[in-house]
Structure 1
Amino acid sequence: MTETKSTPDDLNVQPRDIRFAMEDARAGHWLGGDPVGTAVFNALSLTFPDGERLFMDAVKNYRHKLSGKLLEDAKGFIAQEAIHSREHHQLNSLIDRERYPVAEIEALVRGRVKMARERGKMAMLVSTIALEHFTAMMAEMHARHRDLFDGAPAGVEQLWRWHAMEETEHKAVAYDVFQEVTKDWSPRRRYFIRCRAMFFVTIMFTRNISRYAARLLEADGYAPKAALKAVKRFVWGDPGIFRRGWKTYLAWYRPGFHPWDQDDREQFADWKAEFDAAVA
């Protein structure tokens, strides 16, 4: 049960400081007029600023133990996540706070992040590696199903593509940090810890996003049960953002797993070229 693999040597985690024009999202149901899809992605976006600060700090906690390429990758990861947090904060600021329970959802997110921090540095890192795998899975699904943001304003559509591409680029950084700082652990112990983390993250993340999105839909006039049913249809049915990447998700439970067992850089190559050019 060896776990000695790492990120490819020829991959550089490069922050791209891009500001997206998202003012058109202020109109409301920005995902092609679909209230359900808009609610789901707004719910996701509302978790990102505080959640990604947790990810940054989880890696920063162990930065003194890193060196060489992993240290450089960690710096790139932190910079990428900081920019993601900033841009999603901007998108979140465009949600009508008088109509939607944004403050309520943000308070719930802050409470959950606070609980994660209080569990200690290793718990923060383990939660991060599990959530990073989950977001990489959704990014892969986005790249395979490129109609996901059809009907969204150009700036918002670009934001989600850029985020997906960079999530894939840095998908193994926190995992490599985990492997480095637990190198004296037995592979069996590492395997147990990361599988347990993924089990709980899967339950909590999917449940919380669904509940946050349902609360947003209730502000659009949906009854509570109808709102939750509509959200579950979107995330598990069509388009199934939590379902379509199940093979990538299940790979996590394979002994000896590493995120770069699946090298999907080619799938994101055109998006990477686009956003590299944008900051050139």
Structure 2
Amino acid sequence: MTAKRSPEDLTILPRDIHFDVSGARSGHWLDGDPVGTAVMNTLSLTFPDGERLFMDAVRAYRDQLDGKLAQDAKDFIAQEAIHSREHHLLNRALDRSKYPVERIEAQIREKIALSRSGGPMRMLVSTICLEHFTAMLADMFAAHDDMFSKTEASIKDMWRWHAMEESEHKAVAYDVFLVATKDWSGFQRWFRRSLAMLLISYHFTRNIAEYASWMLEADGYSPKEARKAVKTFLWKKPNFFGRGGHIWITWFKPGFHPWDHDNRALMAEWQAEFNLVAAQ
């Protein structure tokens, strides 16, 4: 059976946009909600080092790529570099004298180093799994738009832009994986990516919950209160991670491809908006 690929008419466009994220210095920038702010700040802290891993994972296989996929890989790397830059600026705006930012960043670097130590294929498999998570951002953002009703517009726009571009390039690393594993059997490919997704999903969600709890403890929550509040936010109300479950589970279908979930209609309005901003 021929492996699926991304739509031929899909264009990946790096948009070099700068966002004013100084509002993050004010504390609970997500509608004044300390729990939601802690979760989103924790996610932001994972992006600079994580996206450098993604870039290097795809870059390692560029000599095997040609045609549209070679261009898509180049544009993927450009997009991720800009995302890393903007989240680095958001992360710098956090109050490091109050919040355990350096502690969390050290933990993230340790996890990234473990992935890198396994060589290019482990890096690529980690990337395709984590890209499946970030690809959910556009749908999750749309589902949780009410969370940002009182958030400063420039910070909200930064997250919307990032979510849209992650969805736009959600299959690039996966298509590179299909090329890199072209000599594998379908079962071998399915087993490797499925096992990796189970392990990464467990550790990624647990780590986000743990680090966000540390952030809340700095706001005066007890460890027990912090863990309960983050767990509720992620899995009950507003169920930030849980609402993406129907997309997450499609990963385990034989013959899965990220564009089986075609959400280009959802992205179209955002793309038009940010294309105009990038052109200014």
Counterpart-to-counterpart distance in 2, 1:18 and 1:169? 16
| 1:64-86 superposed Cα distances (whole Å, 9 cap, x missing partner) | 11010000000010000000000
Matched, 1:16 2:21: no
The residue type paired with residue 252 of structure 2 is Y
Contact 1:48 1:88 in 2 (8 A): yes
Contact 2:137 2:166 in 1 (8 A): no
> What SS does structure 2 have at the residue aligned with 1:99?
coil
Counterpart-to-counterpart distance in 1, 2:162 and 2:2? 28
RMSD of Structure 2 on Structure 1 (CA)? 0.9
In the TM superposition, what is the alpha-carbon distance from 1:29 to its structure 2 partner?
0.4
Contact 2:31 2:147 in 1 (8 A): no
Counterpart-to-counterpart distance in 2, 1:213 and 1:77? 28
| 1:189-229 superposed Cα distances (whole Å, 9 cap, x missing partner) | 00000000100110010000001100000000000111011
Contact 2:34 2:216 in 1 (8 A): yes
| 1:140-159 superposed Cα distances (whole Å, 9 cap, x missing partner) | 11123322322211111001
Give the gaps of 5 or more residues in structure 2. Answer: none
Please name the residue that 2:6 is paired with: 7
In the TM superposition, what is the alpha-carbon distance from 1:138 to its structure 2 partner?
3.0
Please name the residue that 1:224 is paired with: 223
Please name the residue that 1:60 is paired with: 59
Bigger shift: residues 265-274 or 136-145: 136-145
Counterpart-to-counterpart distance in 2, 1:145 and 1:154? 15
Identical-pair percentage: 59
Please name the residue that 2:256 is paired with: 257
Counterpart-to-counterpart distance in 2, 1:138 and 1:155? 18
> What SS does structure 2 have at the residue aligned with 1:113?
helix
| 1:97-116 superposed matches below 5 A | 97-116=96-115
In the TM superposition, what is the alpha-carbon distance from 1:237 to its structure 2 partner?
1.1
Contact 1:3 1:257 in 2 (8 A): no
After TM superposition, the score normalised by the length of structure 2 is: 0.98
Please name the residue that 1:36 is paired with: 35
| 1:228-277 superposed Cα distances (whole Å, 9 cap, x missing partner) | 11001001111212100111111100001100111101011111111001
| 1:186-225 superposed matches below 5 A | 186-225=185-224
| 1:83-102 superposed matches below 5 A | 83-102=82-101
The residue type paired with residue 94 of structure 1 is A
What count of residue pairs does the alignment treat as equivalent? 279
The residue type paired with residue 209 of structure 1 is I
The residue type paired with residue 173 of structure 2 is A
In the TM superposition, what is the alpha-carbon distance from 1:3 to its structure 2 partner?
5.8
| 1:75-98 superposed Cα distances (whole Å, 9 cap, x missing partner) | 010000000000000000010000
The residue type paired with residue 261 of structure 2 is Q
The residue type paired with residue 104 of structure 1 is R
Contact 1:46 1:88 in 2 (8 A): yes
Counterpart-to-counterpart distance in 1, 2:108 and 2:68? 33
The residue type paired with residue 218 of structure 1 is E
| 1:32-57 superposed Cα distances (whole Å, 9 cap, x missing partner) | 11100000000000000000000000
Please name the residue that 1:69 is paired with: 68
In the TM superposition, what is the alpha-carbon distance from 1:9 to its structure 2 partner?
0.5
The residue type paired with residue 216 of structure 2 is L
Contact 1:101 1:219 in 2 (8 A): yes
Contact 1:25 1:91 in 2 (8 A): yes
